[in-house]
Amino acid sequence: MQKNIILAGVGGQGILSIAAVVDQAALKEGLNIRQAEVHGMSQRGGAVQSHLRISDREIFADLIALGNADLILSVEPLEALRYLPWLAPGGRVVTSLDPFVNMPGYPTMEEIMSELGKTERPVLVHAAELAREAGSARASNMVMLGAGAPFTGIEQGRLEEAIGALFGAKGQEVVDINIRAFRKGLQLSNI
Amino acid sequence: MNRQLLLGAEAVAQGALDAGISGVYAYPGTPSTEITEYIQRSKHSRESGVRSSWSTNEKTAYEAALGMSYAGKRSLVCMKHVGLNVAADPFINSAITGVNGGLVLAVADDPSMHSSQNEQDSRVYGRFAMVPVLEPASQQELYDAMFHAFDLSEAVRLPVVVRMTTRLSHSRSGIDRRTPLGQNPLKAEYAPERFVLMPHNARVQYRHLLDLQPMLEELSESSFLNETVEGGGAVGVIAFGIGCNYVMEARRDHGIDCRVLKIGQYPLPRRQVNELFDACSTVLVVEEGYPVYEELFRGYFGSAKIRGRMDGALPRAGELTTDLVAAALGVKLTGTAAVPGIVVNRPPELCKGCGHRDMFEAINLVIREHADHHVFSDIGCYTLGALPPHNAIHTCVDMGASITMAKGAADAGLRPAVSVIGDSTFAHSGMTGLLDAVNDHSPLTVIIGDNATTAMTGGQHSSASGSKLVDLCRGIGVEAEHIRIIVPLKTHLAENVAVLREEFDYDGVSVVIAQRECVESAAKKKRRAAATGQ
Ligand SMILES: Cc1ncc(C[n+]2csc(CCOP(=O)(O)OP(=O)(O)O)c2C)c(N)n1
Ligand code: SF4
């Protein structure tokens, strides 16, 4: 078992929480993990990405080689496109459709959809809307994790357990909202 | 013990704690900051009294760590690569004095300059000082290497450098821990012949350092960080630190059979290197950083046998990847999808509501009344003032340089001479430059963006802000009526513009302190208060 996942988004959108959940779940599974993330300058509204690798064999490199990502999981549609050179043949793009516009020249949604459409069966998610339905717009990253979950190679129960552990300190209500958000995302991808 | 998921930086911290340090000394700097932050958060370090608050700069940090070692205890000192330029004086000289308790310098380099001004390679400093350098390749190795580093430091009585890079420092992996060691007892001995570096002592000590070198090489031969991975073929690889990961990955992905010598401890293990060069007709040198050892292997007249960053087999600059190493090993890579043309850059920006925004707005309004409107600046969040929409600053070189460069330009006749610096940077190395300006009566306005934190690196405690900053400027000799405090807020714009105009026109040293808390750290405080209030 080996999965190479690129998590993408904008600083402050919560991709490191997604990473933390997958990491914990993978650790519980006894898998090897490497998860490279971006700290520092690029956090202030800049593009951020994390290379997440889980495997039952030894993992050498912290970075995924070009054309080797099984999944690009993005919480922002333009950011999903930024990492296409890493996508493996047959790899999947799962992205939120909520644009985060903080720079000039942001393309139109039509242009973005057309590029996303060139990838294999992209999973396109109205994450903020589903998160609000689940109880909080802030849980859209967990909606996205749910939508990406079937491609991570880790079972639902393990991921939900890890969500519980991550948000546990904030009380049961926050845990419930995030689990609901996760399941709403999962429904979209479960084929 | 349970496997723990740690960043490379955190593995260094946990390794140092488990190896029995009594203190960590550091000034923040990406990608090294998380080492000290982890120790500050750790329950173990609170319970066992491991000292861990931030130092004012890397030089003060290094010297304090040396003092703790003098007193017999194990100490860790951490910094980013450019921090070692600041700490270079005590670092180089501590190789001459030697140490008592283990002293380990964890230094984090930033190839590709993800958040730095350059990509200097700290291994050069290690060679320069002639001390052992460890370069672990994984988070687990980093953890294990800390035990080794402290033992080694005490065995050879030298500081030991642990070098890592951004990629390793900021990547997580599962770590298996060992049984923690206790701290050393207090044991300060009089040894002026080692620690008083007057020439007659220093010459003896330097001779001793030179005489130690063969033994250090011998120790590298048996280090767990240096190993040969067997393989066939005429091409061999010598791979250093994290560079080895990309070699191993490329080797497995592309089914390449080649011999690999992995180096994680310096000085180089001469026998192992000789074996590789004897066995292979071509050797690819894979270094994450400068081609330090490649250049050494090639020698002045070059060698056709050697491939690497200097002949274009690998790029001369920037971080390595599996793909780059695979290509250097002769793999023809198939093209992958391109980034679509519509994908524009998303540069970082100052947070919404950040006081630096209002500070720049006021500065821009006043400075542009002048034909010459150069603004000398420094390193911190406010460096983003160089980008649109602010376009407000024109220099950023090294910490503290805003004041001294503005002073030099003022001395040359430039008017107005304006410097913009943060509170943490002012404490780090701005103060001494201000003293120069005061002593010289250089006409200069220093604007300190005092947001009461070291924001750029994630909001660490700042050594001087608020009233302490005012007192410092006063103590340095800036006249009280030319130390002005403004509040960088929209509603204060007219007032702030008036203050700046007056001080730009003043023919002497003035300081304008723009005082408003970083909104990001205020929000963090609120979240923390809410969490503990529950
Ligand atoms: C010698 C050196 N040490 C550390 C750093 C990393 N660094 C860059 S700016 C900065 C501090 C910025 O704090 P401050 O001046 O208060 O500005 P702020 O970010 O809060 O606006 C640090 C630690 C560096 N670039 N050079
Ligand atoms: S972190 Fe603080 S100082 Fe930095 S940009 Fe944001 S508000 Fe401004």
Longest dimension (CA), chain B: 76
Q: Is the pLDDT of residue B520 over 70?
A: yes
- B163 phi, psi to nearest 5 deg: -100, 135
**Res B534 pLDDT > 60:** no
The answer, for A109 touching chain B at a CB cutoff of 8 Å, is no
- What residues in B contact A60, CB-CB < 8 Å? 244-246, 248-249, 252
pLDDT reported for residue A43: 65
Pick the CATH number of B227-328 from 3.40.50.920, 3.40.50.300, 3.40.50.2300, 3.50.30.50: 3.40.50.920
Q: Which residue has the tokens 């079972």?
A: A155
Residue nearest to atom 15 of ligand 1 (CA): B422
Quick one: which of B435, B399, B395 has its CA closest to B418? B395
The mean per-residue pLDDT over the stretch B205-214 comes to: 98
- Pocket probe mutation, ligand 2, options B33, B377, B381, max atoms within 8 Å of Cβ: B381
Average pLDDT, chain B: 97
Residue A101 has pLDDT above 60, yes or no: yes
Residues of chain B with CATH 3.40.50.970: 3-221, 355-521
Bridge partners, residue B51, by sequence: B23
Q: How far does Cα B307 stand from its chain's mean position? A: 29
Query: What ipTM was reported for this prediction?
Result: 0.95
The structure tokens listed for B346 are 């998303």
Residue B527: predicted pLDDT = 86
3-class DSSP state for residue B86?
A: helix
- Look at residues A63, A116, A125, A64 and name the one whose alpha carbon lies nearest to residue A92: A116
Taking each helix axis from N to C end, the angle separating A140-148 and A15-28, rounded to the nearest 10 degrees, works out to: 50
Q: Is the CB of residue A46 less than 8 Å away from at least one CB of chain B?
A: yes
| C-alpha–C-alpha distance, residues A35 and A124, integer Å | 24
Ligand 1 atom index nearest CA of B453? 20
**Would you call B363 helix, strand, or coil by DSSP?**
helix
**Does CATH place domain B3-221 in 3.30.460.80?**
no
Sign of CA dihedral A171, A177, A181, A182: positive
Q: Residue A34's closest chain B neighbor by CA?
A: B173
Per-residue model confidence as pLDDT tens digits over B347-365: 888 999 999 999 999 999 9
Neighbour tally for B521: CB within 10 Å: 18
Nearest to A153 by CA among A48, A52, A35: A52
Question: Nearest residue of B to residue A46 by CA position?
Answer: B348
Give the integer Cα–Cα distance in Å for A171 and A164. 10
Amino acid letter, residue B86: V
In angstroms, rounded to a whole number, what is the distance separating the alpha carbons of residues A182 and A171?
A: 17
pTM value?
0.97
Give distance in angstroms: CA of B356 to centre of ligand 2: 8
- The CATH architecture of the domain made up of A2-189 is 3-Layer(aba) Sandwich (3.40)
Question: Which of A41, A57, A84 to mutate to probe the B interface, most B CBs <10 Å?
Answer: A41
Q: How far is B461 from chain A (nearest CA, A)?
A: 16
Atom nearest to B456 CA in ligand 2: 4
The topology under which CATH files domain B355-521 is: Rossmann fold (3.40.50)
CA dist B216 and B220 (Å) reads: 6
